[in-house]
Amino acid sequence: MSIPLSERMRPEKFEEMVGQQHLIGPGSSLRKAYQSGHPFSLILWGPPGTGKTTLAGVLAKEAGYPFRSFSAVTSGVKDLREVVAEAEKSFALTGKPTILFVDEIHRFNKAQQDGFLPYVEKGVIVLVGATTQNPSFEIIPPLLSRARVLTLHPLEREELREILEKAINDRESGLGSLDLKVEPAALDYLVDLSGGDARVALNNLESAAYHVMEGETPALLDVAALEEALTKKALPYDKAGEEHYNLISAFHKSLRGSDAHASLYWLYRMVMAGEDPLFICRRMIRFASEDIGMADPQALQQALAAFDAWEKVGPPEAELALAQAAVYLASAPKSNALYMAEKGVKAEIESSGALPVPLHIRNAPTRLMKQLGYSKGYLYPHNYPTGWVDQEYLPEKIRGRAFYKPSDRGFERAIRQKMAEIERKRKPKKPES
């Protein structure tokens, strides 16, 4: 067939869809609204291959309304005018709005997005826009206020496996007529390569299937055949097993050891083996605070930016953002002072319990509280020339405890000097009797 497998296997009913059950499961408000003929405008936000286009088509069929689809990549205002003109004629004849699916809606500029507003307002069209970008930044507020934003999640491993198995066994739309035998390890490899994208998984399956069909029959699709067909080497990796923990440990320790070369190596070992990049980003975020902390406050921003880049852009473009963050973290000055402070504070709270807040730093919004001494004696730092005044903020039982002990590395050196300066200004405390 000339139609791609990913298109042939596109579901047409809610019951046929795999994944996104938080949106379309039995009893969901979205499903009820469209099945009862009361559709509303939507912005579908999620990574590629998670079912945005498929969901739009299913919604239109379930509602029984006219459906038009076009892409913001290849269409412009002229195309929109033609679609709207048809929708107006249809609405005048049937009273039913046209469900208009706009793929990559974020690619329309603000003026173009404005063009949808009057027709959504009149009820001539029900807009279903799809985007991989954060709608808060890419969709104009008036359009957002008239549409509900629904977030689609990357497909889970078992969901991708189910989609692939359906395609392998379906004799009408899938590859069932090829009498193809797929080894479990090959199926796992296809899932790993997909990165949560069903379209990628199906396209890879189709390419590999027709590659092995050129040989003996019945055709066997194993990992070696996949490597040959897709020109990608399979790396041994088990996301739930020991290698998963071995690699992330090697990555973390390479960052801690300030080895940028090793950090990059272990990063790409994980990425190329199919590890969830957001898992790697979460570990870098933790590392930025645990092993660098205030020695370089920008480290946390770099790690957060990598996470944000992957969510907004995805592969392959955002892989370099992960590499940038890894090199920055490896090269940054190191300090675990914040981590040790956290441990110390938690241990103190576990030991001493919920100590009362000193009266002088409590708020006193009522007369009774003032009479009880709340806020009495509080010194407002901004009333003093340097913006600082000698005053106690810890409970009396742990007065004088030092939890955060900055190192002499990076920006923490300046923090350490500032803390020492403040400590020198403090009045000597009278020894407890």
Please tell me the CATH code under which domain 349-425 is placed: 1.10.3710.10
Per-residue pLDDT of 290-349, as tens digits, reads: 999 999 999 999 999 999 999 888 777 889 999 999 999 999 999 999 999 999 999 999
Per-residue pLDDT of 91-113, as tens digits, reads: 988 888 899 999 988 888 888 88
Per-residue pLDDT of 113-142, as tens digits, reads: 888 888 898 889 999 999 988 888 889 999
State the Cα–Cα distance between residues 329 and 295, nearest whole angstrom: 11
* pLDDT at 238 (0 to 100): 52
State the Cα–Cα distance between residues 82 and 78, nearest whole angstrom: 6
Percent of the chain with pLDDT over 90: 36
* pLDDT at 27 (0 to 100): 86
Domain definitions of the chain by residue range: 20-151, 157-230, 242-331, 349-425
Element holding 393 (H helix, E strand): none
CATH 1.10.8.60 fits 157-230, yes or no: yes
pTM: 0.55
* pLDDT at 46 (0 to 100): 87
Give the pLDDT band (50/70/90) at residue 215: low
Q: Do domains 157-230 and 349-425 have the same CATH topology?
A: no
Q: Is residue 135 within 8 Å of 45, Cβ to Cβ? A: yes
Three-state DSSP class for 423? Answer: helix
CATH 3.40.50.300 fits 20-151, yes or no: yes
Average pLDDT value for the chain: 87
Q: Which CATH number fits domain 242-331: 1.20.272.10, 1.10.10.10, 3.40.50.1820, 2.120.10.30?
A: 1.20.272.10
For the segment 228-253, the average pLDDT, to the nearest whole number, is 70
In the chain, DSSP finds a helix count (H) and a strand count (E) of 21, 7
* pLDDT at 239 (0 to 100): 53
Burial track 238-247 (b if 16+ CB lie within 10 A, e otherwise): ebeeebbeeb
Per-residue pLDDT of 15-59, as tens digits, reads: 889 988 899 988 899 999 998 888 999 999 988 888 999 999 999
Sequence-ordered list of residues with C-beta below 8 angstroms from that of 109, at least 6 positions apart, any chain: none
* pLDDT at 341 (0 to 100): 94
